[in-house]
Chain A
């Protein structure tokens, strides 16, 4: 085990320790919980920084490798792969000797056929995710100190946050799908707990339940995939499966099986030998169809967790939780776990699955973006924006842009956390989520406003902001995919439309909140804007830091020049270093893609300005568009979008109501038939009780006693022969021996 593996192990466990301390001493610590939680996550962040610097500064020759990719996929050292820091211990060993048993003369130890290891494996993706998660989490912890200040559940909140941080880091670090699944459920639990943090209101509990139940649907698929892989390949370790199913050029290790079907054989990555079950000596292999099914199952889990169509409905409701939670869990980290897992397990997915992933992402990003356009609740806008952006990432991965999708994951984490925290800052000040009541907050809370402007620019894809580079990378990848097979044209069209809509609704949001004058002036004292004030420094400092990050994480080394001109972004190259060797990455700069992303951002932002820019701006007086007019012109469309494509009523009609009807039916069955039976039986019992009294005394007691006595009598039968008389014993011995002789002679001769 390298020291770095220990470092990351500690980084994972410190928040758990903090959680344990807080859970045990909750009453004693009270508000001091925050110190424990923040110090723990800060320490993890520090360790992650050390790990990051060591990985990219000293361990991995990632830059040269990255350049190697640009000069062609063959130039990379395909066999060695990225540097990985691992630590592992066998937890459950099935079908073999215990760990540590060695062969010795006279005793050959069978190798176990199935092992469930507990292990961490941190590669370049892990290193980057660690840094991102701990950094964002630290800032959000700090922010929460201010935001949750007045809340009575303050200590509980930080305990949950610690548990979440541990689970998320565990998810990132785990070396196998089994552990990933455990942490997957743990983050789901934390999400559930924090959505329903203000459980006194029923709506929050309903939202928490909804999130939990919708995720179960996805997890069912995940378990199917897990079971398929476990039963066919006998391992769940990412590395073994990722490297074992395909050869160096990305071709499946296909053998024609016994029944003429194609099977994919799991191979030893180093030697290329097929892996065999040590007990049965059978090859570990999976039929092609089952592999697709397993991939779809795993992806179903990711669909649930990352709020992809059709399971995206839980995420907007999850905004019922405190805003820092929305920022941390439902924007930056947990919801990205699905994307992360798709990236982590990428070589498992067959061509068909990747297409499904790409289209799922495309549909999701369109649905999310269109709904976000008409929402009036600014947190809802951000929620749908998250859904949409997650769709971007999935699409990026699905079209083969492995690094592009994950690059967007990281940049998105920064600017979306920033946007959510800004929204929280606004809410902290005005106590409303409704944009029509606001306006003109720029003067009241300038720091928040400018930070949010940075976030808006970043997510819209304005040049020199992080989102520009990642979205450009995705568009490039999509373009390459479409170029390869033009019938999938939609895979480029969808993100382009989504990009326009993104810029539109984000500028709409910013303009409605911050520009112009308050639209609630008629309320006088009740005007939320009038009472507004800038948030305390403990909340605005994280905003500034995140705003800075939202700009520069996407930069190339040459101060943010676009990739067509300068080299590609550093972070993307860092990610690319660990991409599957056979996957053609970074198809190179593409003027068309660059033009498209610039156009997309420009059109979206321009439209938003035309609709929502405050009057009185120079050059904008001539021709204005009216949102109200547009709504009047297309009332059906507006209702359709306002009602969020009617997903909730549809699901209610298809699933929720039948389930409830069934439940009611069972309840009625219980009430009428079962209860009736019980009542009748009770009456009958009352009538018969006297009779039964007699019956009990004589028959039942008699029977029970008889049974008990019979068992013991069986034992006491031994006394028949165990007389205590020696002559009986010897007689018995003689009889038995003679009987045995007779029996055996008859048997041998018979």
Chain B
């Protein structure tokens, strides 16, 4: 073991968490502004002022998210132009071959960039929807909690290490507990919040307990390192390893709670029904996306060697458990949704069912030979599902505002009163059922195709075919309760109070969601390719897998590599450009791994090179590059 250099982190890493920083700070700004200034205003005016202020924050976060996503892409695509814009050090940093930041605890790559953007967009819709009507008095607190929950989501989807993951998870969930119970006038809100909190705390405890087992087994919390260690341990998997099995099940329980998978789902209907519609939307979409991303990182990266040892789906691995949970979840969610009369409660059960479908995709990911494609399918489903759900919850918010009730029957006669929005909701429901050519159909198609896309004759194929068949059957069942919404809107006469025309918050949310499900139906492959590109760096593993008896890397242990500080030569420029164009450059020394050797070799001959400011190269030597399309993905089937 070479002597370890001191631990240090690169302050430039902060660039990659700008959206989080903006949102965190702006949450405070909103809170203070509400306390100090807006309290004196009338209720409506206060809501509008604080709400607009919050939307400004969302706009800033959007700009930051775009910058974080696009600047590295820009620098890599046009290194020459970029050298005019940035200092040499910055450019060196952007070209570094390391997707992780802050000592390898979180990722700063295309995946986080993409999902920061998705979170900010969804947050914008949810925030805007919140301004529709008065459901709480603590506007400052409410909006700040939404923002901070979002910060948690962003970190959660970026986490590359279990401690960070847990802290991010708690940040997100605790904010959501509070936001759920902020509608103080309704008893159900407080009740839902309490149930959410207690249930969530128990789950967190189980999760943390599972983590402790895992740490005990591997001695590290880094995903990549865990993967390497487990992969080095051979093919036996969980067989004869009760500790590993405990860890898996407990971690599964923790994630199962977050994604509302049966049997960890029971909080969901009460919380969705009790929470204000925007919060319910945020629980159902943002928190679900973040949890699934983290879920995939943990299971399809860190714990992948335990997926299906020996290539047998029914061998001692997590795939079998996951397939079982997926089957139960989608069936239970759909059948329970049939009996619901309340729109939000129905959406709660349907979101349980959707978790089941997505779990099929995760199971397929665990077996897939092309991880990026399988994970891309899941991410595609998540994004499309989230937008459709925000639109559906906007309809619920609308009902709540004007009829003070959100039963499905309250939608009666909507088609005659508001034909445009009724047609929009029609599209949303059809997309949720999965009717072509809407995006929801393609989501299901991609996920199920991935599940079916196994080598024929393998035992996986048979199991997954049954799973897909069950999914298709469930899709048919789901049509019943979604169509009930449509029946109320289009075939029933209006009852009760007339709905006031939807104002911007409600209308915008529904229209935006509809636009997404319509546009990404026929043009599904564009979104799909973005999602596949985003999924690639998510599933990276260390280039070299240390054997089990080798000294275990500890988190934070870093190896510094000097980076030269002189002009890029023409040759290097060429190399960068070819790298940015997808790696097909001149033969020899153009692949990223070899590239990092190039400058350091040069550095030995360069007397002027200074090393004190060189960015640390982390323990993770993954070939994927920061912020760019990773051009090398792992193939899990070969591990």
Give the shortest distance, in Å, between A66 (CB) and chain B (any CB).
47
B572-585 to A contact mask, C-beta < 8 Å, 1/0: 00000000001100
Are A745 and B199 interface neighbours, CB within 8 A? no
User: With an 8 A cutoff between CB atoms, is A722 at the interface?
Assistant: yes
Given contacts A105-B631, A729-B195, A737-B253, contact A747 B266 (CB under 8 A): no
| Contact partner, B629, options A106, A108, A737, A748, Cβ 8 Å | A106
A747 to B320, CA, bound (A): 10
| Contact partner, A726, options B194, B332, B337, Cβ 8 Å | B194
A72-116 to B contact mask, C-beta < 8 Å, 1/0: 000000000000000000000000011001001111100000000
Are B529 and A714 interface neighbours, CB within 8 A? no
| Contact partner, A105, options B240, B267, B321, B632, Cβ 8 Å | B632
Are B631 and A715 interface neighbours, CB within 8 A? no
Are B373 and A714 interface neighbours, CB within 8 A? no
B251-270 to A contact mask, C-beta < 8 Å, 1/0: 00100000000011011011
Are B338 and A711 interface neighbours, CB within 8 A? yes
Smallest CB-CB separation from A729: which chain B residue?
B266
Interface residues in B300-349 by Cβ distance below 8 A to A read: 316, 320-321, 332, 335-340, 349
Interface residues in A676-727 by Cβ distance below 8 A to B read: 711-712, 714-716, 718-719, 721-722, 724, 726
User: With an 8 A cutoff between CB atoms, is A733 at the interface?
Assistant: yes
| Contact partner, B339, options A712, A726, A736, Cβ 8 Å | A712
Give the shortest distance, in Å, between A721 (CB) and chain B (any CB).
7
User: With an 8 A cutoff between CB atoms, is B249 at the interface?
Assistant: yes
Given contacts A733-B264, A745-B242, A748-B316, contact A107 B338 (CB under 8 A): no
User: With an 8 A cutoff between CB atoms, is B211 at the interface?
Assistant: no
User: With an 8 A cutoff between CB atoms, is B220 at the interface?
Assistant: no
A722 to B632, CA, bound (A): 47
Are B199 and A104 interface neighbours, CB within 8 A? no
Given contacts A106-B532, A737-B249, contact A726 B199 (CB under 8 A): yes
Are B631 and A747 interface neighbours, CB within 8 A? no
User: With an 8 A cutoff between CB atoms, is B206 at the interface?
Assistant: yes
A503 to B270, CA, bound (A): 95
A741 to B250, CA, bound (A): 9
| Contact partner, A730, options B198, B241, B246, B336, Cβ 8 Å | B198
Chain A interface SS verdict (over half): helix
| Contact partner, A722, options B242, B249, B336, Cβ 8 Å | B336
Are B264 and A715 interface neighbours, CB within 8 A? no
Smallest CB-CB separation from A712: which chain B residue?
B339
| Contact partner, A714, options B194, B253, B335, Cβ 8 Å | B335
A97 to B336, CA, bound (A): 37
Smallest CB-CB separation from B244: which chain A residue?
A748
Give the shortest distance, in Å, between B498 (CB) and chain A (any CB).
30
Give the shortest distance, in Å, between B196 (CB) and chain A (any CB).
10
Are B529 and A733 interface neighbours, CB within 8 A? no
Given contacts A107-B373, A718-B339, A732-B263, contact A744 B249 (CB under 8 A): yes
Q: Which residues of A contact B246 (CB under 8 A)?
A: 741
Are A106 and B242 interface neighbours, CB within 8 A? no
Q: Which residues of B contact A2 (CB under 8 A)?
A: none
- Interface range, A side: 20 to 34
Q: Which residues of B contact A711 (CB under 8 A)?
A: 338
Q: Which residues of B contact A718 (CB under 8 A)?
A: 332, 335-336, 339, 349
Q: Which residues of A contact B195 (CB under 8 A)?
A: 726, 729
Q: Which residues of A contact B241 (CB under 8 A)?
A: 748
Are A733 and B321 interface neighbours, CB within 8 A? no
Are A722 and B202 interface neighbours, CB within 8 A? no
Smallest CB-CB separation from B536: which chain A residue?
A106
Give the shortest distance, in Å, between B537 (CB) and chain A (any CB).
9
User: With an 8 A cutoff between CB atoms, is A749 at the interface?
Assistant: yes
User: With an 8 A cutoff between CB atoms, is B533 at the interface?
Assistant: yes
| Contact partner, B533, options A106, A712, A736, Cβ 8 Å | A106
A737 to B316, CA, bound (A): 18
Are A106 and B525 interface neighbours, CB within 8 A? no
Given contacts A721-B266, A744-B249, A747-B316, contact A106 B372 (CB under 8 A): yes
Are B316 and A715 interface neighbours, CB within 8 A? no
A716 to B245, CA, bound (A): 34
Q: Which residues of A contact B370 (CB under 8 A)?
A: 108
Other than A107-B373, A722-B266, give 18 A-B pairs with Cβ distance below 8 A: A105-B536, A106-B535, A106-B536, A107-B376, A107-B529, A108-B370, A714-B335, A714-B338, A714-B339, A715-B336, A719-B339, A721-B266, A722-B336, A726-B195, A730-B199, A733-B263, A740-B263, A744-B245
Instruction: Report the 8 A-B pairs with minimum CB-CB distance, sorted nearest first.
Output: A715-B339, A105-B631, A736-B263, A106-B536, A718-B336, A715-B338, A729-B266, A106-B633
Chain A to chain B contacts (Cβ below 8 Å), 23 pairs: A101-B529, A104-B533, A105-B536, A105-B583, A106-B629, A106-B633, A711-B338, A716-B339, A718-B349, A722-B270, A726-B198, A730-B202, A732-B266, A733-B266, A737-B249, A737-B263, A740-B263, A740-B321, A741-B246, A745-B242, A747-B316, A747-B320, A748-B240
A residues bordering B, Cβ < 8 Å?
Answer: 97-98, 101, 104-108, 711-712, 714-716, 718-719, 721-722, 724, 726, 729-730, 732-733, 736-737, 740-741, 744-745, 747-749
